[in-house]
Amino acid sequence: MSEVKLPAELPAPKIGFVSLGCPKALVDSELILTQLSAEGYRTAKNFEGADLVIVNTCGFIDDAVRESLDTIGEALAENGRVIVTGCLGARTVPGAAGDANLVRQVHPRVLAVTGPHATQEVMDAVHAHCPKPHDPFLDLVPATGIKLTPRHYAYLKISEGCNHRCTFCIIPSMRGDLVSRPVGDVLHEARGLFDSGVRELLVISQDTSAYGVDLKYRTGFWDGRPIRTRMFELVEALGALAEPYGAWVRLHYVYPYPSVDEVIDLMARGRVLPYLDVPFQHSHPDVLRRMKRPASGEKNLERLERWRRDCPQLVVRSTFIAGFPGETEEEFQHLLDFMREAQIDRAGCFAYSPVAGAAANELPGMLAPELREERRARFMAVAEGVSAAKLERRIGCEMQVLVDAAPGLGRKGGVGRSYADAPEIDGTVRLLAPQKASKTLKVGEFTRARIVAAEGHDLIAMPV
Ligand code: SF4
């Protein structure tokens, strides 16, 4: 007689997972993976070995849409059982009647499609198509959940959605209006991350400076004490939490509102990194108006000057769009002048790319793709000049560096980042082999290093 297998003895289903898109999508992926793991599902290393595949997509620009659709196609070809989530899942076919879903139109064989920020819907689809195992190994999940970043840094999402309606962006139509997470939950997660070894916390959202606006900055609770749901209070509390761990707190997606001035003071006092990611996108007031940008009326040059006066070590990263519909040569020159005067430490630039469904596509004066690209290249030439001069000035300084890679305990050197470099978007500090035999480098630990040269976007340094 053959032996009957009890449900608990059956191997847990394996789920393949692909995470595409921005850090916000990455956080969604982490939530889904954490839930899968909590329920006892295993992860598969490739499509073939999986019982089902989840693809978390990006729908922001056309290249990302193509990459997401291609990945779904590959998963269908190699596995056949695919659930799609993420921003692309919320996109409809432009011009089609009855809100036809874009993913379903291109790949009708997918099992389910959800929009972003939909852990429960994804889990419902997983349960329907690949029932959960009988015995969940809850204890195997670390308290911090599953992280897709290296162990020593992590993204902390403080809100979802956005109240603005920038004409080039379709995020609000996909993710909805701003919804801030309760301040106590955010701080609880941050403490868990520091406890688990995170040494750099990257605060993200669509609009970090707007944190709490939707909740009218209501008072929440943390550690038995009242605390307002507001950017300054949150950042101050994160800085205090990070201090005993010697960890960094880095702020992304901050708009230049007057309220940010008080956060600069926290930076000057060393509570959080003197680094601000401010997506200016343009400088000319008319272009900013056409873009419907938040804080477009602010005097950004004066504000930057004041911030740097109050916090001289401040590093500013920003992104820009060249060749926005109707951009005149004069408006573009204004942007180049702004870049030279504002001395943005780290700047990225996209040539304007029409995103299906974005209001900007209806604006008059769409520029030829070659002209958009030419302006992007001219902008980057100026931006790289500014950045290179700033990096040169660091030669001879000693900086604290967080080590990201150090094979063989760094005896032949490694790679790290200073406070001026966010992971994946800025440059790195290439660490030379330490001169002292006793000096080792370990991933996730800090080292002091003397800057000896600059090369492209990177610095080269000798650990001391
Ligand atoms: S601020 Fe503008 S660009 Fe950013 S998410 Fe909101 S609408 Fe999009």
pLDDT in tens, 189-206: 999 999 999 999 999 999
Which residue of 163, 169, 298 sits with most ligand 1 atoms within 8 Å of its CB, as the best mutation to test the pocket?
169
Rama region for 385: left / alpha / beta (φ>0; ψ in -120 to 50; rest): alpha
Q: Confidence band (pLDDT; 50, 70, 90) for 98?
A: low
pLDDT at 8: 42
pLDDT at 336: 97
**34: CA distance to ligand 1 center in Å?**
28
φ/ψ of 421, rounded to 5, equals -125, 110
State pLDDT tens for residues 364-394: 999 999 999 999 999 999 999 999 999 999 9
**DSSP assignment of 185-237:** HHHHHHHHHHHTT--EEEEE-S-GGGTTGGGTT-EEEETTEEEESSHHHHHHH
For ligand 1, atom 5, name the residue with the nearest CA. Answer: 206
- Closest ligand 1 atom, CA of 292? 2
Residue 137 has pLDDT above 50, yes or no: no
**77: CA distance to ligand 1 center in Å?**
35
Task: Give 146's DSSP letter.
Answer: -
What mean pLDDT comes out for the span 241-260? 94
Q: Confidence band (pLDDT; 50, 70, 90) for 426?
A: very high
Which residues is 180 bridged to in the sheet? 159
Residue 77 has pLDDT above 70, yes or no: yes
pLDDT at 18: 92
Give the chain's mean pLDDT. Answer: 89
**166: CA distance to ligand 1 center in Å?**
5
DSSP E strands: which ranges in 406-445?
A: 414-417, 429-431
For ligand 1, atom 4, name the residue with the nearest CA. Answer: 206
Which residue of 22, 166, 168, 209 sits with most ligand 1 atoms within 8 Å of its CB, as the best mutation to test the pocket?
166
pTM of the model: 0.76
Q: Which residues contact residue 194 at a Cβ distance below 8 angstroms, ignoring those fewer than 6 apart?
A: 201, 241, 242, 245, 247
User: Residue 336 corresponds to which tokens in the numbers above?
Assistant: 């180049």
- Closest ligand 1 atom, CA of 255? 1
Q: Confidence band (pLDDT; 50, 70, 90) for 56?
A: very high
Q: Where does ligand 1 bind, in terms of residues with CB under 6 Å? A: 162, 164-166, 169, 171-172, 206-207, 294
* Lowest-pLDDT range of 46-60, 95-109, 390-404: 95-109
- Closest ligand 1 atom, CA of 168? 3
For ligand 1, atom 1, name the residue with the nearest CA. Answer: 164
Which residue of 24, 207, 324 sits with most ligand 1 atoms within 8 Å of its CB, as the best mutation to test the pocket?
207
What mean pLDDT comes out for the span 205-234? 94
pLDDT at 1: 36
pLDDT at 3: 40
- Closest ligand 1 atom, CA of 172? 7
**293: CA distance to ligand 1 center in Å?**
8
Which residues is 12 bridged to in the sheet? none
- Closest ligand 1 atom, CA of 175? 5
**Nearest Cα to Cα of residue 249 among 226, 223, 267:** 267
Residue 9 has pLDDT above 70, yes or no: no
**163: CA distance to ligand 1 center in Å?**
8
- Closest ligand 1 atom, CA of 294? 1
What mean pLDDT comes out for the span 241-268? 94
pLDDT at 464: 94
**169: CA distance to ligand 1 center in Å?**
6
pLDDT at 449: 97
What is the widest separation between alpha-carbon atoms in the chain? 86
**Nearest Cα to Cα of residue 152 among 246, 230, 266:** 246
